[in-house]
């Protein structure tokens, strides 16, 4: 099965209890209602893929596992409005696409990039050779799964080593991860001091 790395630029975590608790010292949001918007400077030669990415990102926020398993709520801002989380779709011909160049031709290259707080920016790699889909077949990448993973990063989480976790750093083509696992929920709960949710999760 072909794989690609979800993203670059965010530190990895192991899945031990000590690692989950280490999230207590990561930067975090101090409000629970977060707005998101799309960067108007997006440049891509694939307008059909761009539209798919917008739809997938909206789906990941509006039907968000993160929202159901935390205190966060997400609202989409109109174009031009200042948002807590900015989302862009960039190819290698765009300035922000440079962050993908170092591994863009490798079989495990970077698909998306989430800047850690306080910047809260998600950048997707829009390149013609990527086979993106909202309903992936065996040779396609699931857009919603990638978006859900990157939302985890802008909430403050790093990668987790549990292979079934949404925050696992490798994407398998043809496989969607649209449901948070215990590892994801416990890590976020520990980070935001939601100890009731944390205990229910690890002992369920």
Sorted by where each begins, the domain ranges of the chain are 3-12+31-178
Supply the pLDDT for residue 200: 92
Q: For 86-147, give the DSSP string.
A: EEEEE-TTSGGGGGGGGGTTSTT-EEEEEEPTTT-EEEEE--TT--EESS--TTSEEHHHHH
| Distances from the Cα of 100 to the Cα of 17, 95, 127, 162, angstroms | 32, 10, 10, 25
Supply the pLDDT for residue 100: 54
Going residue by residue through the chain, which has 204 residues, state the pLDDT in tens, using 9 for 90 and above: 334 555 554 445 444 555 555 555 567 888 999 999 888 766 555 677 778 878 888 888 987 789 999 999 999 999 888 899 988 877 655 555 455 554 444 555 677 778 767 767 777 665 555 677 888 888 888 889 988 998 998 898 888 888 899 998 888 888 889 999 999 999 999 889 888 998 899 888
105 contacts: CB under 8 Å, gap ≥ 6: none
Supply the pLDDT for residue 98: 52
124: nearest Cα among 96, 152, 102: 96
Residue ranges at the known binding site for Ca(2+): 84, 105, 127-128, 130
Catalytic residue selected from 71, 95, 121, 150: 150
CATH number of 3-12+31-178: 3.40.390.10
95 is catalytic: no
Supply the pLDDT for residue 24: 57
Three-class SS of residue 46? coil
Question: Distance between CA 101 and CA 91 in Å, rounded?
Answer: 9
Residue ranges at the known binding site for Zn(2+): 94, 125, 149, 153, 159, 167
């Amino acid at each position: 099965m072909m794989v690609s790395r979800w993203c670059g630029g965010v530190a990895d975590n192991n899945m031990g209890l000590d690692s989950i608790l280490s999230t207590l010292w990561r930067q975090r949001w101090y409000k629970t209602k977060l707005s998101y918007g799309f960067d108007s400077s997006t440049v891509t030669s694939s307008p059909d893929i761009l539209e798919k990415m917008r739809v997938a990102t909206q789906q990941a926020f509006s039907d968000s596992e993160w929202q159901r398993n935390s205190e966060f709520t997400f609202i989409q801002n109109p174009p031009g409005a200042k948002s807590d989380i900015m989302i862009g779709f960039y190819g290698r011909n765009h300035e922000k696409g440079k962050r993908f160049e170092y591994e863009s031709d490798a079989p495990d290259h970077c698909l998306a990039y989430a800047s850690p707080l306080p910047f809260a920016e998600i950048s997707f790699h829009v390149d013609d050779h990527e086979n993106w889909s909202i309903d992936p077949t065996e040779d396609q990448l699931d857009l919603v799964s990638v978006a859900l993973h990157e939302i985890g990063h802008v909430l403050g989480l790093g990668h987790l080593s549990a292979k079934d976790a949404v925050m696992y750093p490798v994407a398998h083509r043809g496989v969607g991860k649209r449901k948070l696992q215990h590892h994801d929920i416990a890590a976020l709960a520990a980070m935001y001091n939601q100890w009731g949710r944390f205990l229910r999760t690890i002992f369920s």
